[in-house]
């Protein structure tokens, strides 16, 4: 082990008169040895572009460009085109199409879970996807798609000390019956690695929270965790409705809660955990800048709302979970202790049973830095 790889520890000064280290030189983020659970990660935004390129070719998909770099740009955020909520969701068109077969789903899940462990010491990877957006409009069987995802997760868990879990996503633009089928599938596969359900997608006039009450209750009864995308681009009023009608364990994003004391009180009382993904919110411009995040976290802190930090899609957004924590630390928004609490919360709030048993500190000799080049 090289001396450089040793973890930094705060040493006591040799004598009482020795000057204290200036604040700027102190660590502003948590040690890479601390294990993390990634709770908010969409399969369509999580596979390394080079691997997606390989999968696309293996599937024989006709891409709009034969140039890898153009492809990379097509499936990653950053350009003006993606700087809106709907513009960001448009990026998923190609990734979902490329992942639309059992083989493609299996490889994608395997690569994400294994890569997250190698690169970021993520010991619990919850990956979410909508199986109906990967079955070529019904040409392929949903059970085969779901079983393939579970196989990919199982393969990664055989190779690395990780505990993966799959969340099936319902879509706001789907019909009630389509979403009901997804919930039925989640219940059918609950004992095999599906750990929860979620609702995501574009804001839709036809979506009514109350209509989902019964099916979410059935999912909970079957042992599934409940998370819902709300309080992101939509109004904060919907959040309170989701909380009361669907009784989620966690909420995807939910940053709008910071504007409403009543909602924050309800979240704190019910111990609901927010899955906050800062870079995603900045990209879609639902949060204006880091200064706004400072205010959001100040409100959550004041009202004791629990949260974990996620990425939404590390490869699409070009950010890893440790980058998110480091940015919050660098901007002085979350202290190192608060980041540690968020890391511990991510493991505690995971839908994966005994996630804590995988969460052992990484040895100091293992990669102390985030590796970015490796698939």
- For Zn ion, the binding residues (CB under 5 A) are 312
Give least dist CB 200 to Zn ion, A: 6
238 or 312: CB nearest Zn ion: 312
157 or 197: CB nearest Zn ion: 197
Give least dist CB 149 to Zn ion, A: 17
Give least dist CB 336 to Zn ion, A: 26
Give least dist CB 250 to Zn ion, A: 12
249 or 312: CB nearest Zn ion: 312
126 or 260: CB nearest Zn ion: 126
102 or 252: CB nearest Zn ion: 252
Give least dist CB 42 to Zn ion, A: 6
Give least dist CB 150 to Zn ion, A: 21
Give least dist CB 193 to Zn ion, A: 20
Closest CA to 36 of 364, 349, 365: 349
Closest CA to 146 of 133, 137, 157, 163: 133
**How far from the centroid of its chain's Cα atoms is residue 39's Cα?**
5
89 or 190: CB nearest Zn ion: 89
102 or 225: CB nearest Zn ion: 225
Give least dist CB 45 to Zn ion, A: 8
38 or 312: CB nearest Zn ion: 312
What string of H, E and C letters represents the secondary structure of the chain? CCHHHCCCCCCCCCCCCCCCCCHHHCCCCCCCCCCEEECCEEHHHCCCHHHHHHHHHHCCCCCCCCCHHHHHHHCCCCCHHHCCHHHHHHCHHHHHHHCCCHHHHHHHHHHHHHHHHHHHCEEEEEEEECHHHCCCCCCCCHHHHHHHHHHHHHHHHHHCCCCCEEEEEEECCCCHHHHHHHHHHHHHCHHHCEEEEEEECCCCCCCCHHHHHHHHHHHHHCCCEEEEEECCCCCHHHHHHHHHHHCCCEEEECHHHHHCHHHHHHHHHCCCEEEECHHHHHHCCCCCCHHHHHHHHHHHHHCCCEEEECCECCCCCCCCHHHHHHHHHHCCCCCHHHHHHHHHHHHHCCCCCCHHHHCCCCCCCCCCCCCCCCC
> Which residue's C-beta sits nearest to Zn ion?
312
């Amino acid at each position: 082990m090289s001396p450089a790889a040793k973890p930094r520890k705060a040493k006591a000064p040799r004598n009482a008169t020795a000057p204290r280290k200036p604040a700027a030189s102190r660590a502003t983020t948590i040690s890479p040895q601390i294990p993390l659970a990634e709770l908010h990660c969409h399969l369509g935004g999580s596979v390394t572009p080079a691997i997606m390129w390989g999968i696309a070719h293996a599937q024989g998909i006709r891409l709009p460009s034969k140039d890898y770099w153009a492809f990379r740009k097509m499936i990653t955020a950053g350009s003006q085109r993606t700087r809106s909520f709907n513009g960001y969701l448009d990026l998923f068109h190609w990734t979902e199409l490329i992942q639309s077969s059992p083989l493609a789903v299996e490889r994608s899940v395997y690569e994400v879970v294994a890569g997250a462990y190698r690169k970021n010491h993520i010991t619990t990877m919850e990956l979410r996807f909508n199986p109906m957006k990967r079955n070529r409009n019904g040409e392929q069987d949903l059970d085969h798609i779901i079983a393939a995802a579970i196989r990919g997760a199982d393969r990664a868990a055989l190779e690395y000390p990780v505990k993966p879990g799959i969340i099936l996503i319902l879509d706001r633009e789907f019909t009630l019956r389509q979403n009901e089928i997804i919930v039925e599938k989640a219940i059918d596969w609950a004992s095999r690695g599906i750990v929860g359900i979620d609702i995501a997608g574009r804001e839709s006039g036809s979506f009514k929270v109350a209509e989902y009450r019964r099916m979410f209750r059935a999912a909970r009864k079957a042992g599934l965790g409940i998370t819902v995308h709300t309080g992101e681009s939509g109004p904060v009023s919907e959040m309170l409705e989701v909380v009361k009608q669907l009784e989620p364990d966690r909420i995807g994003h939910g940053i709008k809660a910071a504007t409403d004391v009543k909602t924050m009180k309800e979240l704190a009382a019910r111990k609901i955990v927010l899955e906050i993904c800062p870079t995603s919110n900045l990209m879609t411009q639902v949060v204006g800048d880091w200064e706004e995040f400072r205010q959001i976290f100040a409100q959550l802190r004041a009202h004791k709302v629990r949260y974990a930090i996620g990425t939404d899609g590390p490869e699409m957004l070009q950010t890893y979970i440790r980058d998110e924590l480091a940015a919050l630390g660098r901007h002085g928004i979350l202290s190192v202790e608060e980041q540690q609490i968020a890391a511990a919360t991510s493991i505690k709030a995971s839908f994966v049973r005994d996630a804590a048993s995988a969460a052992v500190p990484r040895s100091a000799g293992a990669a102390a830095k985030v590796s970015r080049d490796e698939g």
